[in-house]
A = this chain, B = another copy of it.
Amino acid sequence: MIDTILEFLVQKNYKQLKEFLAEENPADIAEVISELDENDAILVFRLLSKDTGAEVFAYMDKDTHIGILENINEDEITYLMNNLFMDDTVDILSELPANYVTRVLQNVSEARRKLINHFLQYPEDTAGSIMTIEYMDLKKDMTVKEAIERVKKYAIKKETVNNCYIIDDKRMLLGEVTLKDLILATDDTIINDIMNEDVIVGNTLTSTDEISLMFTKYDILSMPIVDTESRLVGIITVDDVMELIEEETSEEMGRMTGASPLENPYMKTGVFKLARSRIIWLFVLMIGATISQLIIGKYEDFLTAYVVLAGFLPMLMDTSGNTGAQTATMIVRGLGINEIKLSDMPKVLFKEMRVALIIGLTLALANFFKLWLLQGIDPVIAGAVSLTLICTITIAITAGSSLPFLARKLKLDPAVAVSPMITTIVDAFAVLLYFTIAKALLGI
């Protein structure tokens, strides 16, 4: 698609380019615009019909937003902002540098500016910060005919009308009807008689994590959000939740390896920002490894006498590190999607102890015979290595399964740097146990 567009641009064939763009999907157009240079990008953006323009704008990333905002005039900004849904507006503004936000806000009506400012105040990662106000509301004493008329009148300005919300005069949420319910009912049915009162509802301060869990659990397409006084203030739709889940998963996966979340997509993030996002935990854990170094230092004389022991350090440390990381990842993920609950901790620990025993025994036996029979290593040394292996695997699995629970209990994020942290902790134990066991078995 980008090749076709570039060809039209080279030929300056704007008329045909405009027709071509009119046929394309807004998400695709946004992707292409982000790959064009600034002049071409703005040219293509201006060739879009005004409504499509706003839609395409909502799909763009931060850098492209800045590029476009720098090049369009005040009227265009006003039009754009009036045609974006509130959730997209807030999403875009909360990422932009302050001077752009000011420029944008100067070009919207005072009422809308107030509203936007109100939305920008919801803490990040709460339902309030991602909800939109363009929902369809109905009254409970309306007939279905009246309701459908209202839908017809306002649908165009609403993010979705598949779900309509019934509120009273104080905007308290009473229930929900779907567009399907309205179609299936007879014209003179009263909304009150067909509305569903058991609505799954969120609060402006509900965490976005919890919101996505509710969407997945209850298979919902749109969720009403109420304020602290139970008044309907917005809705969250499933497309926003999908985007949210994607972002949150990327961040969680990064955090588990000790990388902090990136503001922009990877390909748009500079080398220094990438390095900065990863270096902090690497540094902390590098310093943490000093403990292992000091332990080995204590055993220097012993190690000089039995230098062959050093060769098994990588295997011992890698295997226990891998085992711990596996366990931790499984538990963190399980906690994250509510498949494992905080109260499951004793059950999980008991389960993992047995898993540790199976894995530890199997690997240790395999390792013992491999070292003794295949590599011809002294069976006492092979035994020391294998015995250490059982112990470190048990420690690794115990750490991997308990630390995420503890973090969650302390209201910390169980994901943060969990795999490398466990590796570092378990390594220190591995080294200590290794030399203790070896000394004992060798009778020194």
Which of B308, B317, B420 is A325 in contact with, Cβ under 8 Å? B420
Whether B180 pairs with A366 at a CB distance below 8 angstroms is: no
Whether A318 pairs with B424 at a CB distance below 8 angstroms is: yes
Is A156 located at the chain interface by the 8 A CB criterion? Answer: yes
Q: Do A339 and B267 contact each other (CB < 8 Å), given the known contacts A215-B242, A300-B307? A: yes
Whether B216 pairs with A243 at a CB distance below 8 angstroms is: yes
Q: Do A307 and B303 contact each other (CB < 8 Å), given the known contacts A180-B162, A279-B359? A: yes
A303, A318, A359, A424 — most chain B CB neighbours (10 Å): A318
Q: Which residue of B lies closest to A334 (CB)?
A: B266
Residues of B within 8 A of A323 (CB): 278, 282
Chain A, 311-335, CB within 8 A of any chain B CB: 311-315, 317-319, 321-323, 325-327, 329-331, 333-334
Task: Output the least CB separation between A305 and chain B (Å).
Answer: 9
Whether A238 pairs with B249 at a CB distance below 8 angstroms is: no
Whether B221 pairs with A238 at a CB distance below 8 angstroms is: yes
A300 to B354, CA, bound (A): 38
Whether A25 pairs with B279 at a CB distance below 8 angstroms is: no
Chain A, 193-228, CB within 8 A of any chain B CB: 198, 200, 215-221
Is A152 located at the chain interface by the 8 A CB criterion? Answer: yes
Which of B27, B272, B281 is A358 in contact with, Cβ under 8 Å? B272
Whether A258 pairs with B326 at a CB distance below 8 angstroms is: yes
Is A337 located at the chain interface by the 8 A CB criterion? Answer: yes
A340 to B266, CA, bound (A): 7
Is A116 located at the chain interface by the 8 A CB criterion? Answer: no
A313 to B266, CA, bound (A): 32
Q: Which residue of B lies closest to A332 (CB)?
A: B253
Task: Output the least CB separation between A352 and chain B (Å).
Answer: 8
Give the contact-size bracket for chain A. Answer: 35 or more
Q: In the complex this chain forms, how many copies of it are found? A: 2
Is A161 located at the chain interface by the 8 A CB criterion? Answer: yes
Is A443 located at the chain interface by the 8 A CB criterion? Answer: no
Is A355 located at the chain interface by the 8 A CB criterion? Answer: yes
Which of B218, B243, B296, B330 is A311 in contact with, Cβ under 8 Å? B296
Which of A42-50, A75-83, A89-97, A286-294 lies at the interface? A286-294
Is A126 located at the chain interface by the 8 A CB criterion? Answer: no
Residue interface bits A170-186, CB-to-B below 8 A is 1, else 0: 00000000011001100
Task: Output the least CB separation between A411 and chain B (Å).
Answer: 22
Q: Do A427 and B310 contact each other (CB < 8 Å), given the known contacts A250-B337, A254-B330? A: no
A274 to B363, CA, bound (A): 15
Q: Which residue of B lies closest to A265 (CB)?
A: B339
Is A367 located at the chain interface by the 8 A CB criterion? Answer: yes
Is A124 located at the chain interface by the 8 A CB criterion? Answer: no
Whether A25 pairs with B200 at a CB distance below 8 angstroms is: yes
A340 to B265, CA, bound (A): 9
Q: Please report A residues at the B interface, Cβ cutoff 8 Å.
A: 23-25, 27, 148, 151-152, 155-156, 161-162, 179-180, 183-184, 198, 200, 215-221, 238-239, 241-243, 245-246, 249-250, 253-254, 256-259, 265-267, 271-272, 274-275, 278-279, 281-283, 285-287, 289-290, 292-294, 296-297, 300, 303-304, 307-308, 310-315, 317-319, 321-323, 325-327, 329-331, 333-334, 337, 339-340, 344, 347-348, 351-352, 354-355, 358-359, 362-363, 366-367, 370, 375, 419-420, 423-424, 427-428, 431
Per CB-CB distance, the 4 closest pairs between chain A and chain B, nearest first, are A289-B315, A292-B314, A219-B239, A275-B358
Provide a sorted-by-A list of 5 A–B residue pairs whose CB atoms are within 8 angstroms.
A249-B249, A279-B363, A282-B326, A293-B311, A300-B307
